[in-house]
Amino acid sequence: MKVKDILAAKGPQVFTIGENASLKQAIDLLANNNIGALLVLADDGKISGIISERDIIRVSSQDLASIPNKIVSDVMTKQVIFVEPDDELEYVESTMVQNRIRHLPVIHDSRLVGLISIGDTVKSSLKDARSQNKYLLEYIGGAVR
Protein backbone atom coordinates (compact mmCIF):
# COMPACT_ATOMS: atom_id res chain seq x y z
CA MET A 1 0.00 0.00 0.00
CA LYS A 2 1.15 3.53 -0.79
CA VAL A 3 0.61 6.99 0.66
CA LYS A 4 -1.62 7.90 -2.28
CA ASP A 5 -3.96 5.02 -1.32
CA ILE A 6 -4.37 6.49 2.17
CA LEU A 7 -5.01 9.96 0.74
CA ALA A 8 -7.58 8.56 -1.68
CA ALA A 9 -9.51 7.18 1.30
CA LYS A 10 -9.18 10.12 3.68
CA GLY A 11 -9.02 13.07 1.30
CA PRO A 12 -6.53 15.90 0.85
CA GLN A 13 -7.74 18.29 3.58
CA VAL A 14 -4.91 19.84 5.58
CA PHE A 15 -5.36 22.40 8.34
CA THR A 16 -2.79 25.19 8.41
CA ILE A 17 -1.92 28.19 10.53
CA GLY A 18 0.37 31.18 10.11
CA GLU A 19 3.64 31.24 12.00
CA ASN A 20 2.69 34.55 13.65
CA ALA A 21 -0.67 33.29 14.94
CA SER A 22 -1.09 33.01 18.67
CA LEU A 23 -0.63 29.70 20.39
CA LYS A 24 -4.20 30.06 21.64
CA GLN A 25 -5.41 30.17 18.02
CA ALA A 26 -3.45 26.98 17.28
CA ILE A 27 -4.94 25.24 20.34
CA ASP A 28 -8.45 26.30 19.30
CA LEU A 29 -7.93 25.03 15.72
CA LEU A 30 -6.66 21.67 16.98
CA ALA A 31 -9.48 21.29 19.49
CA ASN A 32 -12.31 22.49 17.24
CA ASN A 33 -11.28 20.19 14.40
CA ASN A 34 -10.32 17.20 16.57
CA ILE A 35 -6.88 16.97 14.99
CA GLY A 36 -3.36 16.53 16.33
CA ALA A 37 -1.23 18.80 14.15
CA LEU A 38 -1.25 21.89 11.97
CA LEU A 39 1.13 22.75 9.17
CA VAL A 40 2.65 26.16 9.73
CA LEU A 41 2.87 28.55 6.81
CA ALA A 42 5.19 31.53 6.41
CA ASP A 43 3.89 34.82 5.01
CA ASP A 44 4.86 33.68 1.50
CA GLY A 45 2.66 30.56 1.84
CA LYS A 46 5.55 28.11 2.12
CA ILE A 47 5.66 25.49 4.85
CA SER A 48 7.88 26.71 7.68
CA GLY A 49 7.06 24.10 10.29
CA ILE A 50 4.52 21.89 11.97
CA ILE A 51 2.90 22.30 15.38
CA SER A 52 1.42 19.36 17.22
CA GLU A 53 -0.25 18.67 20.53
CA ARG A 54 3.09 17.32 21.71
CA ASP A 55 4.85 20.64 20.95
CA ILE A 56 2.22 22.52 22.94
CA ILE A 57 2.44 20.13 25.89
CA ARG A 58 6.22 20.48 25.91
CA VAL A 59 6.10 24.28 26.18
CA SER A 60 3.21 24.13 28.66
CA SER A 61 5.16 21.90 31.00
CA GLN A 62 8.07 24.35 31.00
CA ASP A 63 6.15 27.56 31.61
CA LEU A 64 2.35 27.42 31.59
CA ALA A 65 2.02 31.13 32.40
CA SER A 66 3.78 32.12 29.16
CA ILE A 67 1.25 30.39 26.87
CA PRO A 68 -0.85 33.56 26.23
CA ASN A 69 2.29 35.39 25.07
CA LYS A 70 3.61 32.70 22.71
CA ILE A 71 3.15 32.57 18.97
CA VAL A 72 3.21 29.48 16.79
CA SER A 73 6.78 30.02 15.56
CA ASP A 74 8.00 29.96 19.19
CA VAL A 75 6.70 26.42 19.63
CA MET A 76 6.57 24.72 16.21
CA THR A 77 8.92 22.04 14.98
CA LYS A 78 10.99 23.65 12.24
CA GLN A 79 12.53 20.51 10.72
CA VAL A 80 9.60 19.06 8.78
CA ILE A 81 9.94 15.58 7.29
CA PHE A 82 7.89 14.98 4.15
CA VAL A 83 6.73 11.92 2.23
CA GLU A 84 5.54 11.52 -1.33
CA PRO A 85 2.36 9.89 -2.68
CA ASP A 86 4.28 6.93 -4.15
CA ASP A 87 6.09 6.10 -0.89
CA GLU A 88 5.25 2.68 0.53
CA LEU A 89 3.37 2.43 3.82
CA GLU A 90 6.22 0.46 5.42
CA TYR A 91 8.62 3.33 4.69
CA VAL A 92 6.21 5.88 6.16
CA GLU A 93 5.67 3.82 9.31
CA SER A 94 9.40 3.34 9.84
CA THR A 95 10.02 7.06 9.28
CA MET A 96 7.42 7.92 11.90
CA VAL A 97 8.82 5.42 14.41
CA GLN A 98 12.47 6.37 13.88
CA ASN A 99 11.75 10.09 14.21
CA ARG A 100 9.12 9.74 16.93
CA ILE A 101 6.55 11.73 14.95
CA ARG A 102 2.88 11.16 14.29
CA HIS A 103 2.16 13.39 11.29
CA LEU A 104 3.77 13.66 7.87
CA PRO A 105 2.93 16.16 5.14
CA VAL A 106 2.67 14.68 1.66
CA ILE A 107 4.37 16.64 -1.13
CA HIS A 108 4.14 16.01 -4.88
CA ASP A 109 5.90 18.20 -7.46
CA SER A 110 6.71 20.73 -4.71
CA ARG A 111 3.00 21.01 -3.79
CA LEU A 112 1.29 19.99 -0.58
CA VAL A 113 -1.24 17.27 -1.41
CA GLY A 114 -2.15 15.99 2.05
CA LEU A 115 -1.15 15.08 5.57
CA ILE A 116 -1.14 11.60 7.01
CA SER A 117 -1.05 10.53 10.63
CA ILE A 118 0.08 7.42 12.42
CA GLY A 119 -3.62 6.67 12.89
CA ASP A 120 -4.12 6.71 9.12
CA THR A 121 -1.26 4.25 8.63
CA VAL A 122 -2.51 1.91 11.35
CA LYS A 123 -6.05 2.00 9.93
CA SER A 124 -4.72 1.13 6.46
CA SER A 125 -2.50 -1.64 7.79
CA LEU A 126 -5.40 -3.18 9.70
CA LYS A 127 -7.66 -3.02 6.65
CA ASP A 128 -4.98 -4.69 4.54
CA ALA A 129 -4.35 -7.37 7.17
CA ARG A 130 -8.08 -8.11 7.44
CA SER A 131 -8.33 -8.49 3.66
CA GLN A 132 -5.35 -10.85 3.57
CA ASN A 133 -6.73 -12.82 6.52
CA LYS A 134 -10.11 -13.22 4.81
CA TYR A 135 -8.47 -14.40 1.59
CA LEU A 136 -6.26 -16.90 3.44
CA LEU A 137 -9.19 -18.28 5.43
CA GLU A 138 -11.20 -18.71 2.22
CA TYR A 139 -8.22 -20.39 0.57
CA ILE A 140 -7.67 -22.76 3.50
CA GLY A 141 -11.38 -23.51 3.65
CA GLY A 142 -11.41 -24.44 -0.04
CA ALA A 143 -13.55 -21.54 -1.25
CA VAL A 144 -10.73 -20.28 -3.50
CA ARG A 145 -9.19 -22.54 -6.16
| Average pLDDT value for the chain | 89
In DSSP notation, 73-135 reads HHHSB-S---B-TTSBHHHHHHHHHHHT-SEEEEEETTEEEEEEEHHHHHHHHHHHHHHHHHH
Q: What is the pLDDT of residue 5?
A: 93
Q: What is the pLDDT of residue 127?
A: 64
Q: Give the fold, CATH level 3, of 3-117.
A: CBS-domain (3.10.580)
Separation between Cα atoms, residue 85 and residue 130, nearest integer Å: 23
Q: What is the pLDDT of residue 71?
A: 96
Indicate the Cα dihedral angle 60, 61, 64, 69, nearest 10°.
Answer: -40
Separation between Cα atoms, residue 15 and residue 133, nearest integer Å: 35
Task: Extract the residue ranges of the chain whose pLDDT is less than 70.
Answer: 125-139, 142-145
